[in-house]
Amino acid sequence: MADSFALKPRSVAVVGAAETTKMGLIPDMSQLGLHFDCALNAMTDAGLKPSDIDGVATGGEDVAVLAHMLGITPKWVDSTDVGGCSYMIHVRHAAAAIAAGYCSTVLITHGESGRSRVGSPGYAMSAASMAGQFEAPYGVTGAPSMFTIPVLRYLKETGSDIEDLARVASIQREWAAMNPRATRREPITVEEVMNDTMIAWPFTKAMCCLVTDGGGALILTSAERAKDFPTRPVYVLGTGESSEARLISQMEDFTSSRAFRVSGKQAFESSGITRDDVDHLMIYDAFAHLPLYGLGDLGFCKPDEAKHFYRERRTAPGGSLPTNTNGGGLSYMHSGRYGMYALQESVRQMRGIAPAQIEGAKISLCHGVGGMFTASGTVVFTNES
Amino acid sequence: MSEIQRPLPKPTPETQHFWDGCREGELRLQRCTRCANTWFPPRPFCPACACREVEIYTASGKARLHSYVISHRGHPGFGKEPYAIAVVKLEEGPQMMSNVVGCPQTPEALLLDMPLEVTFEQQTKDESIFIPLFKPVEG
Ligand SMILES: [Zn+2]
């Protein structure tokens, strides 16, 4: 049965959007400093000052510290923190809060000193936690040796091969080449991806995300108020969220993410669109397998057909479903929680100002993943009121 | 005793029976007395029906290799050679993370769905912690 949603499409819009002034290597800013920089840039973009903002959401940083330091007196706060897709979920929660009248103008920020590690929280894991008891003893060393574990099963069950992973990285580099702010812009062939330094077989370094510094912020308000802002409003058409297993070993199906399926289904149902309506797609790519999982789990195809989207260059420049047009976490930037950068690219595409602009794009779907395959958030944007 | 210096688990009241079992050479799972569901990791209720009447039983120790990566990044406790981090599917249904021992850590030796059986490796001199690992079934 389809869910029914009280929040109507296009009720809320993004009126401010900005990344940090610099991107990539920013040793002169702490994590909190990166939050400040992108928040101020987004306020400038929207023509707002701190006293105009009455709702704040962030993940990976203390929302109260952030609001107070920025001079904001919030009537609504959200510190949902489920990894890199937290920001998609913040958009969803903010839209509901604005529609409910809890607040009128929400600031969502992300900042992360992923490379320079200035003022970053540690990753200490308790030996008594579920992960500490049932995964850490086996020598997992963070995302590259955990997020990647399901993929051999995926390749076997879907008749895909390691070259299909490499092709994702190679094609995204083509998009990055068009983006002056992308970290890696030089072309890379499938063969070069395959022959790069081995990280966790079958994943080479070029199939794994970058590790960079940066941040991004969004400001949302009601569609009614959005017309009075200097920027072109980007409307929230629909959203979804979900979570599954925190332990990668406990993901119920290694060929498909339940969190992806649940979040994606809600996003399509609440926005009232079909797959064919999507002009532009962002699928959070911390590793090269994620766009393949995303295409299947969002319903663009069956899981075993996702490889054809890349083999036939449908997701590549000039293709029918342009995907990860900023170069993605593999080539644009990845501070650790990439979701905010995917959202920024969707907003740029809807405003018509992206470096690799898709001409005439009216609907952008932005799909995030968090905490390996733990969580998911999806936002559908449109530039039509 | 293991030469590998693993990050060691710290049992909690909800998981103590599992780690006690490992010390005694048994892979202990839980089963619902109402709906016969079985699960891992341990918890004192059935996640299918919320029943608290849970029984602990000894699993067969048989499993199949479900998926894995071979980590080349190095780990402070695991030495310099690449090693496989695997998820095995137990005969009873649940999945567990583990390492595959007693065979080369190569794609050629590690075949998906290969039959495995549990073995327990002592981690501490005082015999307080044993870790379940899996080895290929002989023959
Ligand atoms: Zn039950």
Of A84-98, A149-163, A207-221, B66-80, where does mean pLDDT reach its minimum?
B66-80
Interchain pair B112, A156: CB under 8 A: yes
Select from A110, A107, A104 the least CA-distant residue to A42: A107
Chain A residues within an 8 Å CB radius of B83 = 139
Question: Is A9 or A122 the better-scoring residue by pLDDT?
Answer: A9
Chain B residues within an 8 Å CB radius of A160 = none
Residue A376 is assigned to a structural domain of this protein: yes
Predicted confidence (pLDDT) at residue A182 exceeds the cutoff of 90: yes
The residue type found at A50 is P
The first and second tokens of residue A279, run together, are 């002009």
Predicted confidence (pLDDT) at residue B30 exceeds the cutoff of 80: yes
Chain A residues within an 8 Å CB radius of B86 = 138, 149
Chain A residues within an 8 Å CB radius of B8 = 127, 137
Task: Give pLDDT, residue B29.
Answer: 98
Residue A319 is assigned to a structural domain of this protein: yes
pLDDT digit string (tens) for A359-383?
999 999 999 999 999 999 999 999 9
Residue A327 is assigned to a structural domain of this protein: yes
Task: Give pLDDT, residue A199.
Answer: 97
Of A12-16, A44-48, A120-124, where does mean pLDDT reach its minimum?
A120-124
Residue B10 is assigned to a structural domain of this protein: no
Residue A297 is assigned to a structural domain of this protein: yes
Q: Quick one: which H or E segment has residue A355?
A: none
CA of B36 to the centre of ligand 1 (A): 6
Please check whether residue A221 is in contact with residue A10, taking contact to mean a CB–CB distance below 8 angstroms.
no
B28-to-A180, B62, B132 alpha-carbon distances in Å: 56, 12, 11
Task: Give pLDDT, residue A291.
Answer: 98
Predicted confidence (pLDDT) at residue B139 exceeds the cutoff of 80: no
Of A126-130, A261-265, A352-356, B20-24, where does mean pLDDT reach its minimum?
A126-130
- Note residues around ion ligand 1 (Cβ under 5 angstroms): B 32, 34-35, 37, 46, 48-49, 51
- The mean pLDDT value for B82-90 works out to 97
ipTM of the complex: 0.96
CA of A246 to the centre of ligand 1 (A): 22
**Looking at A329-374, which runs of residues are DSSP E strands?**
363-370
Predicted confidence (pLDDT) at residue A86 exceeds the cutoff of 90: yes
Residues 6+ apart with CB under 8 A from A4: none
Q: What CATH number does the domain containing A294 carry? A: 3.40.47.10
Task: Give pLDDT, residue A277.
Answer: 98
Position A175 confidence tier, pLDDT thresholds 50, 70, 90 = very high
The average confidence (pLDDT) of chain A is 97
Chain B residues within an 8 Å CB radius of A139 = 4, 6, 71, 75, 77-78, 83, 85, 99
CA of B33 to the centre of ligand 1 (A): 7
Please check whether residue A187 is in contact with residue A173, taking contact to mean a CB–CB distance below 8 angstroms.
yes
Position B127 confidence tier, pLDDT thresholds 50, 70, 90 = confident
Residue B108 is assigned to a structural domain of this protein: yes
Is A213 strand, coil or helix? Answer: strand
B56-to-A143, B25, B46, B96, B131 alpha-carbon distances in Å: 33, 15, 12, 17, 18
pLDDT digit string (tens) for A266-275?
999 999 999 9
Residues 6+ apart with CB under 8 A from A331: A169, A172, A173, A175, A176, A182, A183, A184, A185, A210
- The mean pLDDT value for A79-100 works out to 97
Using the structure block, give the residue that is written with the tokens 């912690």.
B129
CA of A252 to the centre of ligand 1 (A): 18
Position B47 confidence tier, pLDDT thresholds 50, 70, 90 = very high
Chain B residues within an 8 Å CB radius of A199 = 71-73
Distance from CA of B96 to the nearest CA of A (A): 6
Percentage of residues of chain A with pLDDT beyond 70: 99
Interchain pair A135, B97: CB under 8 A: yes
The length of chain B is 139
Task: Give pLDDT, residue A2.
Answer: 63
Q: Which of A125, A133, A138 to mutate to test the interface with B (most CBs of B within 10 A)?
A: A138
Domain count, chain A: 1
Give the nearest partner residue to A203 out of B69, B74, B123, using CB atoms.
B69
Residue B6 is assigned to a structural domain of this protein: no
CA of B39 to the centre of ligand 1 (A): 10
Please check whether residue A363 is in contact with residue A280, taking contact to mean a CB–CB distance below 8 angstroms.
yes
Q: How far apart are CA A7 and CA A102, in angstroms?
A: 14
Give the nearest partner residue to B69 out of A126, A149, A156, using CB atoms.
A149
Please check whether residue A148 is in contact with residue A372, taking contact to mean a CB–CB distance below 8 angstroms.
no
The first and second tokens of residue A173, run together, are 């580099």
Residue B4 is assigned to a structural domain of this protein: no
Chain A residues within an 8 Å CB radius of B66 = 153, 254
Percentage of residues of chain A with pLDDT beyond 90: 96
Predicted confidence (pLDDT) at residue A1 exceeds the cutoff of 60: no
Helix A290-297, helix A258-271: angle, nearest 10:
50
CA of A53 to the centre of ligand 1 (A): 48
Three state DSSP letters for A133-177? HHCHHHCCCCHHHCCCCCHHHHHHHHCCCHHHHHHHHHHHHHHHH
Chain-centroid distance of CA A69 in Å reads 26
pLDDT digit string (tens) for A144-154?
999 999 999 99
Q: Which of B18, B87, B98 to mutate to test the interface with A (most CBs of A within 10 A)?
A: B87
Q: Which of B71, B111, B123 to mutate to test the interface with A (most CBs of A within 10 A)?
A: B71
Q: Which of B85, B89, B112 to mutate to test the interface with A (most CBs of A within 10 A)?
A: B85
Please check whether residue A251 is in contact with residue A257, taking contact to mean a CB–CB distance below 8 angstroms.
yes
Sign of the torsion formed by the C-alpha atoms of A329, A257, A140 and B47: positive
Q: How far apart are CA B121 and CA B118, in angstroms?
A: 10
B17-to-A89, A350, B20, B120 alpha-carbon distances in Å: 38, 55, 5, 15
Chain A residues within an 8 Å CB radius of B6 = 136-139
Residue span of the structural domain in which A71 resides: 12-120+209-382
Task: Give pLDDT, residue A3.
Answer: 73
Strands B28-32 and B38-39: antiparallel
Domain count, chain B: 1
Using the structure block, give the residue that is written with the tokens 């929660």.
A93
Q: How far apart are CA A306 and CA A296, in angstroms?
A: 6
Residue A311 is assigned to a structural domain of this protein: yes
Using the structure block, give the residue that is written with the tokens 């897709």.
A85
Residue B90 is assigned to a structural domain of this protein: yes
Three state DSSP letters for chain B? CCCCCCCCCCCCCCCHHHHHHHHCCCCEEEEECCCCCEECCCCCCCCCCCCCCEEEEECCCEEEEEEEEEECCCECCCECCCEEEEEEEECCCCEEEECECCCCCCCCCCCCCCEEEEEEEECCCCCCCEEEEEEECCC
- The mean pLDDT value for A226-231 works out to 96
* Cross-strand pairs, A375: A243, A370
Residue B3 is assigned to a structural domain of this protein: no
CA of B18 to the centre of ligand 1 (A): 19
The residue type found at A82 is V
- The mean pLDDT value for A91-116 works out to 97
Chain A residues within an 8 Å CB radius of B131 = 137
Task: Give pLDDT, residue A206.
Answer: 98
Interchain pair B99, A138: CB under 8 A: yes
Residue B22 is assigned to a structural domain of this protein: yes
Helical segments of A140-286, H only: 151-158, 162-177, 190-194, 223-226, 258-271
Please check whether residue A243 is in contact with residue A375, taking contact to mean a CB–CB distance below 8 angstroms.
yes
The residue type found at A79 is S
Touching check for B75 and chain A: CB below 8 Å? yes
Residue span of the structural domain in which B100 resides: 16-136
The first and second tokens of residue A133, run together, are 């008891």
Residue B46 is assigned to a structural domain of this protein: yes
Residues 6+ apart with CB under 8 A from A2: A269
Predicted confidence (pLDDT) at residue B55 exceeds the cutoff of 80: yes
Q: How far apart are CA A347 and CA A381, in angstroms?
A: 8
CA of B31 to the centre of ligand 1 (A): 8
Residue A98 is assigned to a structural domain of this protein: yes
* Cross-strand pairs, A233: none
Q: How far apart are CA A168 and CA A165, in angstroms?
A: 5
Predicted confidence (pLDDT) at residue A119 exceeds the cutoff of 60: yes
Position B76 confidence tier, pLDDT thresholds 50, 70, 90 = confident
Closest residue, chain B, to A131 (C-alpha) = B9
Closest residue, chain A, to B121 (C-alpha) = A137
pTM, full prediction: 0.97
